[in-house]
Amino acid sequence: MDKDINILYIEAESFPEGIVDAHKKLHALIPFIKDRKYFGISRPEKGIITYKAAAEEKKEDEVEKLNFATLVLKKGKYISITIKDYKKDLKSIGKAFNPFFHFLV
């Protein structure tokens, strides 16, 4: 990424099962803006993968109005995985991490 991005997020209750619910909650509360970036952010924490459904902050008052958790994605290099048609096979999200999991914990 070329620059820092301020994001608002909702943490999934579980991984990968809670991902869809987290995105549903996020999209119900954050209005769609064509040029807004959306993210799924996952990382290992204490031997498990946590997941955040996230959206780029576009207006300064969104955080206060919507009472979201926030973080800054710092510019730099990240590992990313594209999963096509994940809704057809929700377990594909968890399976995508299997080859990398031993590096993450």
Closest among 86, 82, 29 to 55, alpha carbons compared: 29
Reported as a single tens digit per residue, the pLDDT across 16-33 is 889 889 988 998 988 778
Residue 9 has pLDDT above 90, yes or no: yes
Which pLDDT band, with edges at 50, 70 and 90, does 104 fall under? very low
* Cα 53 to Cα 7: distance, rounded to the nearest angstrom: 10
**Contact call for residues 86 and 94 (beta carbons, < 8 A):** no
Select the more confidently predicted residue: 89 or 40: 40
Which pLDDT band, with edges at 50, 70 and 90, does 105 fall under? very low
The string over 83-98, giving b where at least 16 C-beta atoms fall within 10 Å of a residue's C-beta and e elsewhere, is eeebeeeeeebbeebe
Reported as a single tens digit per residue, the pLDDT across 35-67 is 998 888 888 888 788 999 999 998 777 777 777
Residue 95 has pLDDT above 80, yes or no: no
Q: Is-above-0.85 flag for pTM?
A: no
Chain centroid to CA 70: 12
For residues 74-88, give the mean pLDDT: 79
